């Protein structure tokens, strides 16, 4: 399934800015999965440049952040195979306008996941 390559490039650049250099260079992997290009950091999916219709990106932010951040413009709960995915948010074209913010949220949650 095709994904938005220009968006993937922006995600890659933002991750390079927000992650420590050694993490970005050694622990950031890109995989075609979940209907797009997933950016896996420290072994955990953080954000995906989506190929699903109407979805620009899927961001893994955790259940607590999901509740707090869903009211933001351009967001909705990720639904895959008919089931809501707790802890994930889909961004439409409006939501992607705040991509640096969303990547910051994904990186923060990724750090929480990998700390333990």
Model confidence over 69-92: pLDDT tens digits?
999 999 999 998 889 999 999 999
Torsion of CA 103, 109, 114, 116, to 10 degrees: 170
pLDDT at 51: 80
Position 27 pLDDT exceeds 70: yes
Position 53 pLDDT exceeds 90: no
pLDDT confidence tier of residue 116, bands split at 50, 70 and 90: low
61, containing H or E segment = none
Do residues 61 and 109 lie in contact, with contact meaning Cβ atoms separated by under 8 Å?
yes
Classify the phi-psi angles of 32: left when phi > 0, otherwise alpha if psi is within -120 to 50, otherwise beta: beta
Distance, CA of 116 to CA of 19 (rounded, Å): 18
What's the predicted TM-score (pTM) here? 0.91
pLDDT at 115: 82
Helices (H), the chain: 5-18, 21-27, 63-69, 93-96, 99-115
């Amino acid at each position: 399934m095709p994904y938005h390559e220009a968006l993937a490039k922006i995600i890659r650049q933002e991750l390079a800015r927000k992650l420590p250099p050694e993490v970005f260079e050694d622990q950031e992997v890109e995989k075609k999965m979940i209907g797009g290009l997933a950016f896996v950091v420290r072994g955990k999916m953080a954000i995906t440049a989506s190929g699903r219709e109407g979805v620009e990106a899927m961001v893994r932010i955790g259940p607590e952040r999901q509740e707090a951040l869903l009211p933001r413009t351009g967001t909705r709960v990720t639904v895959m195979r008919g089931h809501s995915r707790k802890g994930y948010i889909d961004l439409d074209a409006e939501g992607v306008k705040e991509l640096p913010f969303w990547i910051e949220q994904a990186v923060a949650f990724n750090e929480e996941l990998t700390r333990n």
